[in-house]
């Protein structure tokens, strides 16, 4: 084998290290997807937290405002105002009722208002925007928060966003810790379950394929299905079936290779023996005996066919058939020669019937058609000889007829017929033999030669015995030649 062929047969990558295994990918993807989910949940959560914190300040301020407004109309002492604003973490507290604004408490020098948030008019999108405005850019700016007060009134609280941002950062930290814990637990659970359900079975399949590829003909290397009732179980079952099928194919290929080598050796020696037999048969032609003169040409013809076929096998290394050299053949004479060569025409217990019309001609290769009929007649004679009862009728009949451009030939016998098991692979080599010790090559060769003529061979459904039907069409005539012949 050449160096290039050996390189082509090697696997493209051997022992390639895995940068990131399937289990690791599952773990990373699980953590990633959980974090993405947490981010999608975090956005509305932080906006809602921002809005809730402001609403809590407004509710606390509402309770304080109601308490103050019920005690009287005067202003609170400065020390009480400072305590109230310190509890609210605010700079000022005011209410608006009936169009009149009343300042309930205010620090000595409140900073200017930078933002105004009205919780009654805050849409979900505005809530997200205001929440991230405070979280990302909030420092010490002042916010004026507005909310409902006693039905138609309005309460107003002015406070610094520093405390609000600090609370939002603490909430975000808690969300992050919770997300990491959830993603870790989910990742571990998903990792363990997927590794057991998918990764390990896939590794088992890969190991089984690698182990089987090292020695495909070892039956012990065929994977044993785990019995799972899912897609992986189906894959294991299909892999086992494929391995068994390939083992059968490899065994058959090895048998064919060994048989081919044996046939080549046999043909080499057989050709020399046939050549010697041909030299001795040439001397028979000179004998004046009428019987010798009758059978000597047929014997020489059979030897010539055998030597030619042996040379073809040795030349090509296999039984490669040459294209048919078609000629017009007197089919009755060819059938008679087949009967003489096989010895059926003079058989003591088999009745030979040649029903081919004497004037019937067939367009075929004489040697190849002779081999087709020889195989069929020999098989039929062997089937008839297997029955030992003298009372049985042993008749072998060959008949033919023409229908248009097709000649139909039948070879029938009154033997036991073809078993049902042999019918399935009747024309396949080494599989279609109907008798013990047979190879099934005779019918396979006959089918190949008939197909080379563009014809068809089949086992007809008939009883008793077996009936093989052969159809040989005439060669198609090119229309150009017909037109030229008519024109001339």
Query: For residue range 74-117, what is the model confidence (pLDDT) as tens digits?
Result: 556 666 767 777 877 888 888 888 778 888 888 777 788 888 99
Which of 196-205, 344-353, 425-434 bottoms out in mean pLDDT, i.e. has the lowest?
Answer: 425-434
d(CA 459, CA 175): 81
On whether residue 59 sits in a domain, the answer given is yes
Q: Is the pLDDT of residue 363 over 80?
A: yes
| pLDDT surpasses 50 at 155 | yes
> How far is 311 from 274, CA to CA, in rounded Å?
11
Q: Among 137, 156, 184, identify where a domain stops.
A: 184
Q: Domain count of the chain?
A: 2
Q: Is the pLDDT of residue 61 over 80?
A: yes
Query: Which whole number is the average pLDDT over 150-156?
Result: 85
| pLDDT of 258 | 73
In this prediction, what percent of the chain has a pLDDT beyond 90?
15
* Pair of tokens at residue 409: 């030939």
- For the stretch 411-456, pLDDT in tens is 999 888 888 777 777 877 655 555 554 556 678 888 889 999 999 9
Q: What SS3 state is found at 13?
A: coil
Rounded Cα gap, residues 473 and 403, in angstroms: 10
pLDDT score at 11: 44
Query: Rounded distance, CA 300 to CA 287, Å?
Result: 14
- Confidence (pLDDT) at 396: 93
User: Interior CA angle at 78 toward 77 and 81, to 5°?
Assistant: 90
Confidence band of 479 (pLDDT split at 50, 70, 90): low
Q: 145 or 229, which is more confident?
A: 145
Highest mean pLDDT: which range of 137-146, 303-312, 387-396: 137-146
β-pair partners for 351: 395
- Three-state SS string over 312-334 comes to HHHHHCCCCCCCCCCEEEEHHHH
Q: What is the pLDDT of residues 27-43, one digit of tens each?
A: 777 778 877 877 888 88
Contact 95, 156 (CB under 8 A): yes
Mean pLDDT, residues 189-211: 82
DSSP for 125-138, please give it: HHHHHHHHHHHHH-
Domain annotation covers residue 11: no
Q: Which of 90-94, 122-126, 371-375, 431-435 has the lowest mean pLDDT?
A: 431-435
Q: Which pLDDT value is given to residue 442?
A: 75
* 215 vs 425, more confident: 215
Question: What are the residues whose beta carbons fall under 8 Å from the beta carbon of 430, sequence distance 6 or more?
Answer: 252, 255, 439, 440, 441
Domain boundary residue, one of 151, 167, 184: 184
Side-chain half-sphere CA neighbours of 11 within 13 A = 7
Residue pair 157/57 in contact (Cβ under 8 Å)? The answer is yes
Question: What pLDDT score does 216 carry?
Answer: 83
> Is 297 contained in some domain?
no
pLDDT of residue 320: 58
> DSSP 3-state helix, strand, coil percentages of the chain (rounded to 5)?
60, 15, 25
Both tokens of 99, joined, read: 């169009």
pLDDT band for 229, please (50, 70, 90 cuts): confident
CATH number of the domain residue 367 falls in = 3.30.565.10
Cα–Cα dist 219/241, whole Å: 12
Question: Of 184, 209, 231, which marks where a domain is finished?
Answer: 184
pLDDT reported for residue 9: 39
In a domain, 267, yes or no: no
- Looking at residue 4, its pLDDT comes to 41
* 335 within 8 A of 356, measured Cβ to Cβ: yes
pLDDT surpasses 80 at 359:
yes
In a domain, 394, yes or no: yes
**Higher pLDDT, residue 9 or 257:** 257
Q: According to the model, what pLDDT value does residue 82 have?
A: 74
Is the pLDDT at 330 greater than 60, yes or no? yes
Full residue range of the structural domain in which residue 53 is found: 22-184
Span 377-388, mean pLDDT?
84
Cα gap 403→171, rounded to integer Å:
97
Residue 338 lies in a domain: yes
Give the whole-number percent of the chain exceeding pLDDT 70: 75
Predicted pLDDT of residue 351: 92
* φ, ψ (nearest 5 deg) of residue 133: -60, -45
Q: 54 in a domain, yes or no?
A: yes
The reply to whether 111 falls in a domain is: yes
Q: State the pTM of this model.
A: 0.45
Assess whether pLDDT exceeds 60 at residue 462.
yes
| Phi, psi for residue 395 in degrees, rounded to 5 | -130, 135
Query: pLDDT at position 468, please?
Result: 93
Q: Residues 267-278: what's their mean pLDDT?
A: 60
């Amino acid at each position: 084998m050449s160096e290039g062929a050996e390189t082509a047969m090697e696997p493209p990558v051997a022992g390639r290290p895995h940068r990131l295994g399937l289990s690791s990918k599952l773990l990373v993807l699980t953590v990633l997807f959980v974090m993405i989910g947490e981010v999608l949940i975090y956005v509305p959560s932080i906006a809602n937290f921002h809005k809730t914190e402001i609403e809590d300040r407004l509710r606390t301020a509402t309770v304080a405002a109601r308490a103050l407004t019920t005690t009287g109309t005067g202003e609170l002492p400065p020390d009480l105002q400072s305590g109230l604003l310190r509890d609210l973490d605010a700079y000022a507290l005011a209410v608006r009722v009936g169009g009149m604004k009343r300042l309930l408490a205010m620090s000595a020098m409140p900073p200017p208002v930078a933002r105004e948030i009205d919780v009654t008019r805050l849409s979900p999108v505005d809530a997200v925007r205001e929440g991230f405005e405070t979280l990302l850019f909030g420092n010490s700016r002042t916010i004026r928060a507005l909310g409902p007060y006693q039905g138609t009134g309005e309460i107003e609280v002015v406070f610094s966003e520093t405390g609000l941002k600090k609370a939002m950062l603490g909430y975000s930290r808690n969300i992050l810790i919770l997300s990491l814990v959830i993603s870790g637990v989910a990742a571990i659970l998903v990792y363990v379950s997927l590794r057991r359900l998918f990764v390990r079975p896939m590794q088992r399949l890969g190991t089984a394929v690698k182990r089987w590829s090292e020695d495909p003909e070892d039956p012990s290397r065929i994977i044993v299905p785990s019995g799972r009732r899912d897609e992986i179980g189906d894959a294991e079952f299909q892999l086992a079936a494929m391995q068994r099928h390939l083992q059968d194919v490899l065994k058959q290929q090895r048998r064919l290779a060994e048989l081919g080598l044996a046939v080549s050796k046999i043909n080499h020696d057989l050709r020399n023996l046939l050549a010697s037999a041909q030299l001795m048969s040439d001397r028979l032609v000179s004998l004046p005996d009428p019987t010798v003169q009758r059978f000597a040409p047929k014997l020489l013809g059979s030897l010539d066919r055998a030597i030619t076929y042996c040379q073809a096998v040795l030349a090509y290394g296999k039984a490669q058939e040459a294209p048919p050299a078609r000629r017009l053949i007197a089919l009755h004479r060819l059938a008679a020669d087949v009967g003489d060569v096989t010895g059926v025409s003079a058989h003591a217990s088999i009745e030979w019937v040649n029903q081919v019309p004497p004037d019937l001609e067939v367009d075929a290769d004489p040697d190849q058609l002779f081999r087709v009929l020889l195989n069929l007649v020999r098989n039929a004679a062997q089937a008839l000889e297997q029955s030992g009862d003298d009372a049985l009728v042993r008749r072998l009949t060959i008949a033919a007829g023409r229908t248009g451009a097709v000649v139909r030939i039948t070879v029938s016998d009154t033997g036991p017929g073809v078993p049902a098991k042999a019918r399935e692979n009747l024309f396949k080599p080494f599989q279609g033999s109907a008798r013990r010790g047979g190879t099934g090559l005779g019918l396979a060769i006959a089918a190949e030669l008939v197909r080379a003529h563009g014809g068809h061979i089949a086992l007809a459904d008939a009883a008793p015995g077996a009936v093989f039907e052969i159809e040989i069409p005439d060669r198609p005539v090119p229309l150009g030649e017909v037109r030229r012949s008519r024109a001339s």
